[in-house]
């Protein structure tokens, strides 16, 4: 009887020691795996707000001006210079040329943007008096924008007004034929802001 009691006590003591003090065992308390996502603007760390949190986008390390190609300036706002990856650019040009035949002039004002460029957008807005949270309501934080992939474009005007244009209606009907999709539509489960002017090349169907 005493021997059984001693055995039970020893087993209980061993369990308590391994549970409370020995790290790395499967029945020890798991560490908190949640980590705050932040971006740094001018030396200040800002928490990434919903809905961007958890959606960081890593652009390929080789993506720079050499593999990117310019979009014909006649399809760019103010004849500006913007770049896409070749396949996205070729599909965009084919789409824009078809739209011209249908009486629709597609014009973009943004394509590839680096995380550095995205950070400069935030710097300008914050210096103009907006808070980080106010900017993040409509602009992806650095490292969270699809533009870093070299596949996305913003049509002009690049805000909610684009949804009222014939160009938007044409894209809704025809863009998928050219591999483009509206990736921030009005109704989304992750509640990202609606960006009717933002479309991304996703490839052939």
Q: In the predicted model, is pLDDT for residue 161 greater than 90?
A: yes
* Strand intervals (E) in 26-179: 38-41, 44-47, 69-70, 83-84, 108-110, 152-155
Q: Which residue has the tokens 């169907």?
A: 205
d(CA 123, CA 175) in angstroms, rounded, equals: 33
Closest CA to 48 of 111, 109, 118: 118
> For residue range 54-84, what is the model confidence (pLDDT) as tens digits?
888 876 655 555 689 999 999 999 999 999 9
Specify the pLDDT at position 189: 63
In sequence order, what are the beta bridge partners of 153?
199
Specify the pLDDT at position 21: 35
Q: In the predicted model, is pLDDT for residue 18 greater than 70?
A: no
Q: Which segment of 16-25, 176-185, 190-199 scores lowest on mean pLDDT? A: 16-25
Question: Predicted confidence band at 155 (pLDDT cuts at 50, 70, 90)?
Answer: very high
Specify the pLDDT at position 63: 59
Question: Predicted confidence band at 27 (pLDDT cuts at 50, 70, 90)?
Answer: very low
Of 11 and 62, more confident = 62
Collect all residues with Cβ–Cβ distance below 8 Å to 172 and sequence separation of at least 6: 182
Q: In the predicted model, is pLDDT for residue 2 greater than 90?
A: no
């Amino acid at each position: 009887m005493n021997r059984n009691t001693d055995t039970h006590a020893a087993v209980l003591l061993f369990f308590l020691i391994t549970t409370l003090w020995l790290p790395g065992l499967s029945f020890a308390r798991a560490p908190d795996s949640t980590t705050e996502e932040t971006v740094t603007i001018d030396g200040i760390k800002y928490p990434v707000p919903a809905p961007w949190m958890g959606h960081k986008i890593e652009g390929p390390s080789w993506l720079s001006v050499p593999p990117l190609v310019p979009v014909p300036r006649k399809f760019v706002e103010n004849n500006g210079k913007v770049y896409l990856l070749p396949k996205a650019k070729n599909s965009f040009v084919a789409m824009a040329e078809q739209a011209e035949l249908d009486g629709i002039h597609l014009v973009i004002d943004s394509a590839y943007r680096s995380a550095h460029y995205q950070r400069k957008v935030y710097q300008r807005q914050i210096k103009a008096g907006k808070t980080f949270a106010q900017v993040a309501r409509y602009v992806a934080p650095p490292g969270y924008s699809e533009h870093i992939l070299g596949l996305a474009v913003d049509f002009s005007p690049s805000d909610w007004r684009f949804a009222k244009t014939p160009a938007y209606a044409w894209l809704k009907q025809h863009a998928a034929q050219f591999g483009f999709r509206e990736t921030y539509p009005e109704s989304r489960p992750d509640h990202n802001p609606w960006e009717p002017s933002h479309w991304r090349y996703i490839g052939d169907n």
